[in-house]
Structure 1
Amino acid sequence: MKKLITCATLCSALMFVNCKKTTIPLPPTITIIPTPAVQLPADTASLNAIVTAKGGNTIAQETWSQLSGPNTATMANASSASTPISDLIAGTYVFKLQVTSSDGLSVSAEDTIVVKSSTVYTLTLKPTDNPNEVDLWGTPQNTDFGTNPLSPEFDAEYWTVHGNPAIIRSLVSFDLSSIPTTASILTATLSLYSDTTPLNGNLIDANYGAGDSIVIRQVTSPWVATTVTWPTQPSVTDTNQVLLPATALPFLNLPSINVTGIVSNQVSTGTNYGFQLALQNEAGPYISRIFCSSRYSDSTRHPSLTITYSIK
């Protein structure tokens, strides 16, 4: 005897089939942690996001990319939800994080970073009658031939005094106390001008003799212009020294000597003992490079130091 399937039984079976649970794929989620604005001269930041997988899946891939900006920033690890970035310049950047889960679903989110231009300050120091300026005279044997803190000249020489060999060096310091130690020194330019009426050397030319190249060094210990002598002159360092080549010209102004390295160190360490001017080769005979000091009659030719800097 055949079993009859009633309509009620058939409908019940169909309803059971249609009510089977269906799983809907869920994409991962991204929460961007906004990056604060960057103020130059700082040029680094960090991209950060919280990534969460859904529906029992895992995260298969995370990739940061740059969508726009004034230049191409450097990302330390573009395949991580958090990565440092560097080499930023002033402007607005947009970065995108693309995330893919283990079931192939992808989502993305963006982070915008504003990089602000730094405020650049310019300080020009050109004192008259600078109390931190002196000529030192001595011999290769370290004998003192005298000092002159009131000289109208700022020079480097190898000459003779009463027939005896003499070396002349000069020291000068500028007041940098108005620059914060946290400042970033962008440029520092020392300006020296030839003495057109020299009182030393051959009394005619500011520059005289073969091999008259000069060197500017950072002074590394204290000194006082009115008491320093050749035997007690301060120490110097060759680090960041500036070598200025020899010249055949009798007069040569040097209005743009790059001393940024020296000044950066002076400011950051808070130990400013100034500069030393000397011949590169103090072996003579009869070599001179004579410049105007802060006591020279023409104030436009006084030594000057111009610094541009920004505050971190």
Structure 2
Amino acid sequence: MKALKVLVKFSFLAFFLSLASLMAIGQEVNKKREQKIVSNNLSTTCTSLSSLFHGNLVETYEYSFNSVINNEACHSSASTINLGCLSSSDNQSWFVIEIVKNGDVSISFSNSSAYDLDAAIWGKVLNGDLNNFQQALSTVPIACDYSASNPLIIIPNAKVGELYILLITNYSNVNTEITLSQSPRDNVYFKYLCPENLNRAGNITGDNTYKSANRISSDETIENGKILYSAGNLIELEPGFEVKANSIFKGEIEGCERSPKFGSLVIQPGPADGKDLDVNSISPEVVAHYNNDFIDPYAWTQNGSSNIKRVFIEFDLSTIPINAIIDSAFLDLYFSKSLTEQYSIFQGHYGQNDLLIKRILSPWQQTTFTWNNQPSVTEINRVEVGAAITSNQDYPGISVKNLVQDMLGVNYGFSIVHKYETPYKITCLTSSSEVNPAIRPRLRVFYHYF
């Protein structure tokens, strides 16, 4: 997993901070929300906040965790923290974000029950050194959101190597699973603090998950709820451990790290299952050519009138999990000798035939497709392909990674058009009806998921 290349890295050290340690609040960044104290169940002894910035960090590419309720854990801070808009100090989970690509970073939060979450972020941490975290937390948060719906936090103009500190609070004080994400998904991976060993005791209610890299030992009583223990090597249920009626307990030997599953899809459909066509502007109401053994983006003149051809092609991606992260995707297109044999005017690719490959936004059918009803497309993540160097070249390995990522769940395929739709130019490509199966259009996708 460490070998996978990523653009933005989130380092997450999950921990909780007590109400008592956060009462000193400095300058506000906007109007604070109403203070709500959800519980007096605060630990009498709190461990140091600074100790939670160092430890056993585990990597994952997506991160979901159970919310804190009733302030069931506590950590203290040696200095004041400016909470900005977050007047509520309860049920806090903190994380560290490391930036590895320049640009704006948008972080969103969702939860399984749509309960009220709040969030704030501080930084950048001086010199990228977490030993300076106190200084960052004493300043006004650079972003703060206490909207009742899922909060959104934006880090403007982030630079490679910068560290930021993120806080999420469960204002609702209700059990829920929280998921952190960033768009696009494949630009981030998460690292969070996993204890080597974990000891559980006392009574517990509600739903929660407890993880340890090595061992979990417990003599607690599960009063009411669903509890999961996940340890890397050993789970020890000590004398006194009890699961009450109407409660559920599960143990698994997995630990903190969620290992990704890897998959691939290579699809090269033929006449029976292929879906591709070209459509021309000179006959805008005529149904497109979809049985030819070639497809040819084209800009020419016919009887003195300009004629433009565009290509539309769709591959079945339904076997790829909808939550997959696309690691790479390649579209392979091949030269059509058959086109030049059928139309002697064309000797192969011709003109300044740079191509644009775009994502189609609406459904289409081959048997009813015309120039006038062609589906809409988006410019987002479009791919440019340079003009042909030789008249009979193939186009293997066109990277369409971001386009395929955007297609998961809602896929209507690609449009292939000339960048400059003015005469005279043509790109001669095979279709899924090509006699030679080895040179039909092919899509290769490589991905991982959890």
Question: Aligned partners of 2:57 and 2:440: how far apart in 1?
Answer: 45
Q: Cα gap change, 1:59/1:292 in structure 2, threshold over 3 Å: closer, same or farther?
A: closer
Q: Which runs of structure 2 are paired with 1:120-159 in the superposition (5 Å)?
A: 120-129=262-271, 130-139=273-282, 143-144=284-285, 147-159=288-300
Residue pair 1:201, 1:288 contacting (<8 A) in 2 also: no
TM superposition shift of 1:214: 0.9
- Partner SS state of residue 265, structure 1: helix
Is it true that 1:311 corresponds to 2:278 in the alignment? no
How far apart are residue 48 of structure 1 and its match? 2.5
1:66–1:93 contact (8 Å) kept in structure 2:
no
Instruction: Give the unaligned 5+ runs of structure 1.
Output: 1-39, 96-110
Partner of 1:179: 320
- More contact order relative to length (CA 8 Å, sep ≥ 6): 1
Equivalent position amino acid for 1:47 in 2: A
1:293 maps to a residue whose letter is S
Aligned in 2, Cα 1:59/1:145: closer, same or farther, shift over 3 Å?
Answer: closer
Cα shift at 1:164: 3.1
How many aligned residue pairs are there?
A: 246
Q: How does 1:162-311 map to 2 (within 5 A)?
A: 162-199=303-340, 203-209=345-351, 211-267=352-408, 270-285=409-424, 287-311=425-449
**TM-score, normalising length: structure 1:** 0.66
Distance 2:96 2:10 in 1: 12
CA contact (8 A) 1:138 1:146 kept: no
Relative to structure 1, the CA distance from residue 61 to residue 145 in structure 2 (aligned partners, 3 Å threshold; closer, same or farther) is closer
Which one has the largest radius of gyration? 1
Give, in whole Å, the separation in 1 of the partners of 2:333 and 2:437: 12
By how many angstroms is 1:149 displaced? 0.8
Contact residue 155 and residue 277 of structure 1 kept, 8 A: no
Contact map agreement 2:281 2:371 (CA 8 A) in 1 = yes
Q: Per the alignment, do residues 48 and 207 of structure 1 end up closer, same or farther by CA in structure 2, a change over 3 Å counting?
A: same
> Structure 1 residues 114, 271: closer, same or farther in 2, change over 3 A?
closer
1:204 and 1:222 mapped to 2: Cα distance? 32
Q: Deviations over 1:9-41 (max 9, x none)?
A: xxxxxxxxxxxxxxxxxxxxxxxxxxxxxxx99
Aligned equivalents of 2:263, 2:48: Cα separation in 1: 49
What amino acid does structure 1 have at the position aligned with 2:326? I
Structure 2 CA distance, aligned partners of 1:301 and 1:61? 61
Q: Residue 155 and residue 92 in structure 1: after superposition, are their counterparts in 2 closer, same or farther (change >3 A)?
A: farther
Q: Which amino acid in the other structure matches residue 227 of structure 1?
A: T
- The CA distance in 2 between the partners of 1:61 and 1:254, in whole Å, is 55
Q: CA deviation at 1:163?
A: 4.4
Residues 37-186 of structure 1 aligned to structure 2 (within 5 Å): 45-48=12-15, 62-66=50-54, 75-76=96-97, 87-88=189-190, 112=213, 114-129=256-271, 130-139=273-282, 143-144=284-285, 147-186=288-327
Distance in 1 of aligned mates of 2:374 and 2:166: 52
Amino acid in structure 2 at the alignment position of 1:48: F
Is the Cα–Cα contact under 8 Å of residues 287 and 367 in structure 2 kept in the other structure? Answer: no
Cα displacement (A) at 1:135? 1.4
Distance 1:261 1:217 in 2: 11
Structure having the larger proportion of residues in strand: 1
Would the alpha carbon gap of residues 261 and 278 (structure 1) be closer, same or farther in structure 2, given more than 3 Å must change? Answer: same
CA, structure 1 residues 47+234, in 2 after alignment: closer, same or farther (shift >3 Å)? closer
Whether contact under 8 Å (1:48, 1:83) holds in the other structure is: no
Percent sequence identity over matched residues?
A: 23
Three-state SS of the structure 2 residue aligned to 1:215 is strand
Counterpart residue type for residue 320 of structure 2: I
1:138–1:145 CA contact under 8 A, matched in 2:
no
Contact 1:206 1:291 in 2 (8 A): no
Aligned-partner residue type, residue 412 of structure 2: Y
Separation in 2 of the partners of 1:182 and 1:206?
A: 41
State TM-score, norm by structure 2: 0.47
Structure 2 residue runs without a partner (length 5+): 19-42, 60-94, 98-121, 123-129, 135-164, 168-179, 181-187, 197-211, 214-254
Deviation track 1:255-311 (CA, whole Å, cap 9, x = no partner) reads: 1111122211111xx2211111111111112x1011111111111000011112222
Conserved? CA contact 1:171–1:276, under 8 Å: yes
